[in-house]
Chain A
Amino acid sequence: MKLFPMVAACLLAGPVGVASAAERPPPGASSCAGCHAEGAAMGAIDGRPEAEIAAALAAYRSGTRPDSVMGRIAKGFSEAESQAIAAYLARQGQP
């Protein structure tokens, strides 16, 4: 029965409709939308290129891109965490 793999997948994934683990934002990423939006001075970041976001976070963290607020926040994330956040944000807002 062709449907069986889907049924089995649903059973394994838990209750119907509950979001899958793959959609989970990496640590810290869900906080970003508190400030970053279209039209705000902080600017929207959803859907921006991954490399651009990662480079910006690295520059804030090292202090080569001066910014009062993001400098303080970026220092709380490792390079790997920043990369994961960049990849996640880049995926948002994409069709």
Chain B
Amino acid sequence: MNTTRRALLAAGASLALARPALAQAAPKVVVIGGGFGGATAARALHRGGLDVTLVEVNPTYVACPFSNEVIAGLQPMAAQRFGYEGLARAGIRVVHAAATGIDAGARRVTLADGTTFPYDRLVLSPGIDLRFDAIPGYDEAAAARMPHAWKAGEQTLLLARQIEAMPEGGTVVLAVPGNPYRCPPGPYERASLIAHVLKTRKPRAKLILLDAKDTFSKQRLFQSAWATLYPEQIEYVPLAEGGQVSAVEPDAMIVRTDFAEYKADVACIIPPQRAGRIAIVAGVADRSGWCPIDPVTFESRLVPGLHVIGDAAIAGAMPKSAFSANAQAKVCAAAVIDLLAGRAPETPKLINTCYSLVAPGYGISIAGVYHPAGGVLADVEGAGGISPVDAPRSLREQEALYAADWYRTITRQVFG
């Protein structure tokens, strides 16, 4: 056991002993961020008998998984939206406000209106913020012309409308950042589904996929499917061939790399990202912009008493996915419950499964099993991997079905 964990266990034990059990209320946990991670954590902590407050600025959550299907017109936007009534019905206090300050010493969260909430433990699930300082020319104003659509909602609809309105022989430029970023295979699913729209409705149009790296998640599966399904639609430009975007000019709809200039009819620019703002405010993000955590408890390595889950965390081999956030939230909640009860948290194992749709009825997947090793979450040797590259079409159909069922299952479980 490392020094920090030993000290924290001692702190947890003294907390339990310092208060007469029968005279006290349940320990208080504040969860900031009501996405797949935060909402799951709030439910698990509440089930564990804790007094839980979920702080989420938006009254409605718009899910990112399956939002590429919305862009391609394969899924209605309504299927992405979830309210918090289910969590409130479960007995969780849901507060729709922005958290603006965290006093880790006093163990207190401050909201935008000045309200404060004390906590015994704080769970942060802030998701991502887009780095509007990373690509010259690409700021928030530029995103209104060249949508990122990497936070689902209005941006998703904007990109969908632009593709719908694009001229018959037009060009879509899709720019993908370097690692790490939310949803590693997401840009390639997006390229696939936009290519599906082009193939079926604008067959002379093409998509140029500019990538700031040379390898990517489910690469063999995507590229094998593209060769079969979209040979005329997708032109892939990896880093080695000049795929990294060096600047954009939104007024002229130009996307530049060090080697070329692309004139786009539609430009989807997914910029580099970092942990959501409250993680920066709380001091749990390091110089990388992401949050280092203990792989057993998800407690911040920088600020004791704060736990970070989901896309914002540096979770080792675990990718930034909704499935990961859901799995991490449950492990983190169990650890928080143990710490508050003065027990040693159990060493966890976590699973991630991630499906991508390449075309309607054509799904591919990656799975992984992870455990704490060497201070990080590492792959369990011999497990995980991608679906077979040479699989029959029936398996692709099955994985597309699994993808849709996973989405229904997880959103029902999380939002109720």
Contacts and interface: CB of A to CB of B under 8 A. Distances in A.
Interface residues of B, number: 59
B365 A69 contact: yes
B350 A31 contact: yes
A2 interface: no
A63 B384 CA distance: 13
B409 to A, nearest CB: 4
A21 B326 CA distance: 21
Contact of A14 (B331, B341, B384, B410): B341
Nearest to A74: B383
Contact of B24 (A16, A33, A40, A73): A16
B362 to A, nearest CB: 14
Contact of B347 (A17, A27, A32, A34): A27
A68 interface: yes
Interface residues of A, number: 36
Interface in A14-70: 14-19, 21, 24-25, 27-28, 30-37, 39-42, 68-69
B382 interface: yes
A72 B370 CA distance: 12
Interface string B343-379: 1001111110100000000000101110100000000
Contacts of A31: 326-327, 330, 349-351
B314 to A, nearest CB: 19
A34 B324 CA distance: 9
A30 B342 CA distance: 21
Q: Is the interface of A mostly helix, strand, loop or mixed?
A: loop
B380 interface: yes
Contact of B346 (A27, A35, A73): A27
A16 B348 contact: no
Contact of A42 (B24, B405, B412): B405
Interface of B: 15-16, 19-22, 24-27, 44, 47-50, 323, 326-327, 330-331, 334, 337-338, 340-343, 346-351, 353, 365, 367-369, 371, 380, 382-385, 387-388, 391, 395, 398-399, 401-402, 405-406, 408-410, 412-413
Given A18-B337, A68-B399, A75-B384, 11 more contacts: A16-B24, A18-B26, A18-B27, A18-B341, A27-B348, A34-B327, A34-B413, A37-B412, A37-B413, A41-B402, A41-B405
Interface of A: 7, 10-11, 13-19, 21, 24-25, 27-28, 30-37, 39-42, 68-69, 72-77, 81
